């Protein structure tokens, strides 16, 4: 009987190891979490409130909040644009503050309250900011609009709370919803159609009502 060579043994070990790795990858995600094998994704539960409803998800810990909202909760209003935090299309409001949901992990928001464009208003009963965007034609293609509106709502909250921006001239005085302030604060939300002046008009109208 021929004794296997070192090369043959190494090849056999490689094939066996490859088959075992493939089998592990095909396991359900819950098995991944229990296995705790280096290199395999881990899964965690996260509970938060989305648009007023309590939600609990079991997610790969690498899942962004953006993907959890769109893929798991089926809330497609929040858009995936650059996926690098540069365009603002994915802006949502978390505990009253606006964030780029593509830059944060879903599991980091345990217990938080999240509002997406779907939670601001409905076609029958729109949020004042949504109505103002329609009135002032603050959108064209509409892709950036959900992020623009969520950001605009949060911007007025920031101004009301007295949070200054780079455009605030007097840091000792309460900031006002001037055109310069609004343009500076909204600069992280890109509109490729160029509806910026209309967007500022919409926000200014809502700011005037709430002043």
Cβ-contact 203, 129 below 8 angstroms: yes
Transcribe 164-183 into DSSP letters. --TT-S-TTS-----HHHHH
Residue 189 buriedness (CB in 10 A; 0-12 / 13-18 / 19+)? buried
Sorted by where each begins, the domain ranges of the chain are: 43-120, 128-210
Tell me: pLDDT of 58 over 90. Answer: yes
For residue 187, pLDDT over 70 is answered with yes
H/E stretch holding 60: strand 53-60
Annotation: CATH topology of 43-120: Ubiquitin-like (UB roll) (3.10.20)
Q: Are 87 and 185 in contact (CB under 8 A)?
A: no
Residue 209 is predicted with a pLDDT of 78
Which residues 6+ apart lie within 8 Å of 98 measured at CB? 91, 92, 150, 151, 154, 155
Reduced to 3 states (helix: H, G, I; strand: E, B; else coil), residue 110 is coil
Going by the DSSP 8-state scheme, the letter that residue 139 receives in this structure is -
List Cα–Cα distances, 39 to 24, 60, 148, in angstroms: 11, 13, 38
* Fold assignment, 128-210: DNA polymerase; domain 1 (1.10.150)
pLDDT score of 5: 53
- pLDDT surpassing 50 at residue 28: no
pLDDT at 17: 54
């Amino acid at each position: 009987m021929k004794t296997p060579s070192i090369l043959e043994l190494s090849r056999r070990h490689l094939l066996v190891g490859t088959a075992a790795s493939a089998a592990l990858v095909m396991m359900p995600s819950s098995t991944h979490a229990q296995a705790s094998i280096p290199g395999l994704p881990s899964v965690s539960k996260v509970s938060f409130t989305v648009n007023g409803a309590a939600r609990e998800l079991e997610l790969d810990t690498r899942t962004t909040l953006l993907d959890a909202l769109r893929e798991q909760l089926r809330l497609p209003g929040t858009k995936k644009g650059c996926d690098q935090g540069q365009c603002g299309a994915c802006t949502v409001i978390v505990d009253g503050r606006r964030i780029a949901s593509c830059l944060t992990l879903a599991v980091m928001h345990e217990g938080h309250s999240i509002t997406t464009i779907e939670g601001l208003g409905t076609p029958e009963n729109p949020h004042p900011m949504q109505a103002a965007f329609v009135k002032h034609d603050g959108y064209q293609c509409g892709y950036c609009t959900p992020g623009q509106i969520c950001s605009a709502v949060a911007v007025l909250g920031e101004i009301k709370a007295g949070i200054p921006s780079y455009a605030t001239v007097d840091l000792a005085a309460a900031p006002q919803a001037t055109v310069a302030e609004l343009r500076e604060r909204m600069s992280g939300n890109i509109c490729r159609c160029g509806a910026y002046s209309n967007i500022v008009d919409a926000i200014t109208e809502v700011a005037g009502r709430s002043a």
